[in-house]
Amino acid sequence: MYVALMILIQLFVGSLWLKLLTRMDRNRKKKNTEAVFPQLFAFGMLSAGMAVAIYRVLPPWLGLSGAYLIDDFLTNLIMVGPVEELCKFIVFYLIVKKLDSIRESTDGLLQGATVGLAFALVENVSYAWWYGPQVILYRSVFNVAGHMSYGALWGMLYAVLTMSGTEQKASFRTSLLVVVPAGVVHGLYNHLLLYGVGYGLLIKGVVIIAILALYRISLRRSPFRDFDPRLHETAIPSILLALNAHPDDSKLNYRLMLYAVFAGRLDLAADSAAACMAKHRRSPILRAWYSIIDILKGEESTGFDGLDAALAAASDRQKAILLTSVQKVVRDPSLKTRISEMISGIGAKHVV
């Protein structure tokens, strides 16, 4: 009965943290990643069992040197921290590979934190079993926050590795290197608790503040953020970085096309439009944009003919979407007016 109560309490705590993590992914609807978090949470609990199994086969470090502080240091930095972070990362790696859920650095941070959350809740129940219910409140806040921050750290590092384009060539063993910083910080926190809770909380606070700062930076530079077109110098590199991991992502290529049109990088815009059309060849909006890019490149006759054909197949809603985008990103006043009038059905196709 007691264990069941502790499990229920931790599941309730977990649901609150999970809801917070899900909401922190502000672009989740654009990426269709809302269903990823519950799956990572459920499978993340298995990582605690993996850690226990590894502990059973590893040799003990305590007592090897004869000095308790040294043994504790070695135990936490060489065994506890790295083992627990490794187990969490393995679960994370398998799930995100299966779901292909890393679209930007924020994904790695939040999805890694979700696995850390699951691990912490299982660990909390075991601690309550051994030490009594008085540890639950402290651990439901500080222990959970710690494990989430460690997961967020290696999760973001893995996302950066993925988007750098090197992850496709790197082996699983190479990917494991992202666990090292979190494993060291985790082990150091555990060891510092010997000198007082305050020392441990200090290092944990520094890590959490750093993670939150990285989270804010990742949001500002998100490839899924609706940048003002005038911020194309920030938007384009962010999208190109994300496309390293998912070069065929139609949403990212479409966004890149619009910013490239505004920036006057018409070859990049044409390439992005072609990448979109490879998956959605019959889309009137994409066909229209491909023709608009031709117009902007000076190929007006071909461009206006293509635009006319695309508009003939477009619905009123698609025309409205196209018109709004044209008004935002086409900078040449004369061409913007002619294209807009043609979309609205009040202008001639082009002057012969």
Question: Residue 159's pLDDT is what?
Answer: 93
**What is the rounded average pLDDT for all residues in the chain?**
89
Question: Residue 352's pLDDT is what?
Answer: 42
| pLDDT of 73 strictly over 50 | yes
pLDDT tens sequence across 234-273 = 999 999 999 988 888 999 999 999 999 999 999 999 999 9
Average pLDDT rounded to a whole number, residues 59-76: 71
Q: Which domains does the chain have, with CATH numbers?
A: 2-220 (no CATH), 230-344 (1.25.40)
Q: Which residues contact 13 (CB under 8 A, 6 or more apart)?
A: 121, 140, 144
Average pLDDT rounded to a whole number, residues 5-17: 85
b/e string for 77-90 if b means 16 or more Cβ within 10 A? Answer: bebbbbbbbbbbbb
| pLDDT of 167 strictly over 60 | no
Question: Residue 77's pLDDT is what?
Answer: 86
- Binned at pLDDT 50, 70 and 90, residue 165 comes out as low
Q: Pick the more confident residue, 327 or 6.
A: 327
Q: Which residues contact 64 (CB under 8 A, 6 or more apart)?
A: 71, 74
CA separation for the pair 297, 270 (Å, rounded) = 10
pLDDT tens sequence across 178-231 = 999 999 999 999 999 888 888 888 988 999 999 999 999 999 999 999 999 999
Average pLDDT rounded to a whole number, residues 129-150: 84
pLDDT tens sequence across 86-133 = 999 999 999 999 999 999 999 999 999 999 999 999 998 888 887 777
Average pLDDT rounded to a whole number, residues 133-158: 89
- Binned at pLDDT 50, 70 and 90, residue 1 comes out as low
Token pair 């490239």 in the structure block, residue: 260
Question: Residue 292's pLDDT is what?
Answer: 96
Q: Pick the more confident residue, 299 or 68.
A: 299
| Residue 174, amino acid | T
Average pLDDT rounded to a whole number, residues 119-148: 85
Q: How far is CA 258 from the centre of its chain?
A: 23
Question: Residue 147's pLDDT is what?
Answer: 95
Question: Residue 170's pLDDT is what?
Answer: 61
Question: Residue 168's pLDDT is what?
Answer: 56
Residue 323: CB atoms within 10 Å: 16
